[in-house]
Amino acid sequence: MRTLYLTVLFFELLILAGCSAIGIENKRVDYKSAATKIPALEVPPDLTTPAIKNQHTIPGSDGEIVTNFSDFAKGGQVAQVGVATTVLPEVKDVHLERNGTQRWLIVGSKVENVWPLVKEFWQEQGFIIKTDNPAAGLIETDWTERRAKIQQGGLSKMLSKVFDKLHSSGVQDMYRTRLERSKDGSSSEIYISHSGMEEALDVDKNGYKWRPRPNDPELEASMLQLLMIKLGGGTENQAQAGQVPKLQGVGAVPQLQEINGNKIIILNEPFDKSWRKIGLALDQAGIEVKDKDRVSGVYFVSPSKDIAKKKSWVNNLMFWRNDSDQKSTKDSIEGTARYQVTVRENNAGCEVSVLNQGAGKDPVTQRMTDLLYKQLTK
């Protein structure tokens, strides 16, 4: 069996090496190309085959000549080749807003009406819903391979049907969608954040393992555009007819200050914009939002284990210290209490601080503050 596996792998690599010289990688974001194609239904003998309209047929297929230079020279009629009637069409009751590098959707409908459509959107894109938390307004997909990076021509396509594990793009994506009510409660705000993983050679070079890669703002913008078309009742092709819209507005640069050894972030923007920016920054930093209170300006969050357990090189040298601080930090994370990210109005701007269960500071709150600041200044 091992000999057969190595033989198949050798021939496949040989074919891929030959095809790579002429193959062109598909740049389209595609998570669904691995799905099994459903064959067309056979028509029973006593029924007639329905007429098929050709308005979606691509001109020039099967050797058909669409036009040539002589047609231009004679001023003749030139065939139209799949020109979209509307590029980035306006969508009723849905619009895209931007503040600096952050983008989000404003939907003129209540969250209860938007929620099932957002879930349906991710399923249509080929994702499995991992987290479905209406109370927190959070929808999170499972990790999904980006199939567009896999060439599916010739022998490669044939073998992939039998040995699917031999084919891997080496790239996986996960999206977190957060929904919030607007102030008046009659509209919704939708935020999408991306997380990525890539395969990399292990340190000992004995195999490969998955490692995080930076989030991709372009993928976030593309998914927002597709979701906007979905919520507006359009089709995916309409969204793919153009690129991400050019938006106006650049936010003020956040500042990181340290007062009595405690770090805070200063945002020179009103509360509404600051609240949105912090919420999206939490998503992008991988800090899970358990609950939120917009009136009080508080996000109740839970840091990841990596953030909680990370130690600086100074702490590693301080071997004489006891583990009481580490134990209290662990208890605060694993217990019922949560960390709080507060957004407070201060004159014309806002102050952002991270507090633990005792409304104080600890190494975890400082690391979370640094992570938030890094996301805000990207």
d(CA 33, CA 6): 26
Distance of CA 101 to the CA centre of its chain: 14
Q: Please tell me whether residues 331 and 275 are part of one structural domain.
A: yes
d(CA 358, CA 361): 8
Among 301, 359, 361, 310, CA closest to 333: 301
- DSSP secondary structure code for residue 61 in this structure: G
Distance of CA 137 to the CA centre of its chain: 16
User: Looking up tokens 């598909």, which residue turns up?
Assistant: 26
The pLDDT assigned to 304 comes to: 76
Cβ count near 323 (within 10 Å): 9
The pLDDT assigned to 225 comes to: 92
Residues 6+ apart with CB under 8 A from 291: 135, 136, 299, 300, 338
Name the stretches of the chain with pLDDT < 50: 20-27, 33-38, 54-58, 60-70, 72-73, 76-85, 150, 156, 162-166, 237-250, 311-337
- Per the CB < 8 A criterion, the answer to whether 27 and 148 are in contact is yes
- Confirm whether 203 is domain-assigned: yes
- Confirm whether 38 is domain-assigned: no
The pLDDT assigned to 328 comes to: 46
Q: Please tell me whether residues 288 and 373 are part of one structural domain.
A: yes
pTM over 0.85: no
Residue at which a domain ends, from 223, 250, 277: 250
Torsion of CA 276, 279, 284, 285, to 10 degrees: 140
- Confirm whether 195 is domain-assigned: yes
Q: Please tell me whether residues 257 and 231 are part of one structural domain.
A: no
d(CA 78, CA 68): 9
Pairing of strands 255-259, 262-267: antiparallel
The pLDDT assigned to 252 comes to: 66
d(CA 218, CA 232): 21
**β-pair partners for 133:** 138
The pLDDT assigned to 42 comes to: 56
Residue at which a domain ends, from 250, 273, 290: 250
The pLDDT assigned to 308 comes to: 62
pLDDT, one tens digit per residue, over 113-136 is 999 999 999 999 989 999 999 988
Among 255, 266, 273, CA closest to 352: 266
Q: Please tell me whether residues 97 and 231 are part of one structural domain.
A: yes
Residue at which a domain ends, from 250, 274, 295: 250
Q: Please tell me whether residues 281 and 237 are part of one structural domain.
A: no
Work out the burial of residue 188: count CB atoms within 10 Å of its CB; fewer than 13 is exposed, 13-18 middle, 19 or more buried: buried
Q: Please tell me whether residues 207 and 178 are part of one structural domain.
A: yes
**Phi and psi at residue 130, to the nearest 5°:** -95, -40
Counted domains in the chain:
2
d(CA 365, CA 85): 52
- Confirm whether 94 is domain-assigned: yes
User: Residue 111 half-sphere exposure, CB side, CA atoms within 13 Å?
Assistant: 20
Q: Please tell me whether residues 318 and 373 are part of one structural domain.
A: yes
Q: Please tell me whether residues 261 and 226 are part of one structural domain.
A: no
Task: Report the residue count for the chain.
Answer: 378
| CA distance between the termini of the chain | 50
Q: Please tell me whether residues 259 and 196 are part of one structural domain.
A: no
- Per the CB < 8 A criterion, the answer to whether 19 and 139 are in contact is no
d(CA 101, CA 378): 8
Full domain range(s) for residue 221: 24-30+86-250
The pLDDT assigned to 167 comes to: 53
- Confirm whether 2 is domain-assigned: no
Q: Please tell me whether residues 94 and 177 are part of one structural domain.
A: yes
The pLDDT assigned to 91 comes to: 73
- Confirm whether 61 is domain-assigned: no
